[in-house]
Each structure stands twice: as C-alpha cells, then as structure tokens.
Chains A and B, each alone.
Chain A
Amino acid sequence: MDAQVIGVSTDSTFVLDHWKKELNASYMLLSDHQRTVSEQYGVLITQVGMSNRATFVIDKDGKIASIEEGGSAIDPNGAETACSRLAHKKAE
C-alpha cells in the first residue's frame, strides 16, 4: 500500500495515545497541540481552538491533489477502510 493515512487533531499526545489504543487504530495520529498546523492549513475553528473536519490528499510530489472540508471530509477511520478496500480490490 503506497498511501499513508495521518489523522491530525489538537489533542495532546497523551489523549491520542489512549484513543489509538482504544480504537486499535493502525494509522498515524499526530498532535497539533500548538494549533500551528491547523492554522497553516486553514482548518482551525478559532472560537473553540479545534480543527474542522477536513481531508487533504497529498500526492507523492508533496502537492495537494484533493481537499474536502466539513461534512464531506472523511474521518481517518473511514479513510483507512477505504484504502484497505482499494488494496483488496487491486489484489484480486
């Protein structure tokens, strides 16, 4: 599989670690506790200091290939499921 799902939230690493174990998630969860990356990507909800739900697909050259924001953005769990389905299809 040549895709990496990375979940980003403003939670602390401690919270993310707990959640990753609870979900038994295999994808990466990154902590943007300083809110700098959420701000950089323009997805920070300033009133609450949390990231909006948003998905950026970044190609192998580091360029943005797709942007989904709000309700249409997928959650990291869903992204991983979609990816593994694709991988399964390719293998058939």
Chain B
Amino acid sequence: MKAIRALAACSLVVAALSAQQITPPKTTLKVGDQAPDFTLPDSSRKPVKLSDFRGKKVVILAFFPAAFSGG
C-alpha cells in the first residue's frame, strides 16, 4: 500500500512539473539585422552602450539565465 501511495505521489509531482513546462523563447532577429541598441549598467554600475563599440570591436553578446548558473 505504501508503495502505491508513493507511486501516486510521485506521478502527481511529475504531472505538476510537466504542466509547468517552460517553452524556450525564439528570437525574431535574423543574421544581417541591425543589432538593437541598448544601454545597460555593468557590474560596477557604469552604463555601457552597445553602439559605442561600433566601428571598433566585434561584440559577442552572451545572454545567460542567472549568475552562478555556470554561464
């Protein structure tokens, strides 16, 4: 009986998790598009503007989910 209960509880958890499944976004930007400009603060709160790199450097813009997530 215990085993059946555990199994039922387990399948409930699985069902709840799959109901909340996260759909990853898909960007509408395409290769060749002008990269949308922005200004964001860096880790020392200094504002950084993307277009300031124009004509100077190639930019590798790497979005990652959260700090400490191995990224």
Chain A positions within 8 Å of B, measured between CB atoms, are: 2-11, 13, 15-20, 28-32, 36-38, 40-48, 50-67, 69-70, 73-77, 79, 83
Contact = CB atoms under 8 A, between A and B. Distances in A.
Interface string B19-52: 0101111111111111111101111110010110
A77 B70 CA distance: 9
Is chain A's binding surface mostly helix, strand, loop or mixed?
mixed
Interface residues of B, number: 45
A88 B32 CA distance: 29
Contacts of B25: 42-46, 52
A54 B66 contact: no
Contacts, number: 187
Interface of B: 20, 22-38, 40-45, 48, 50-51, 53-68, 70-71
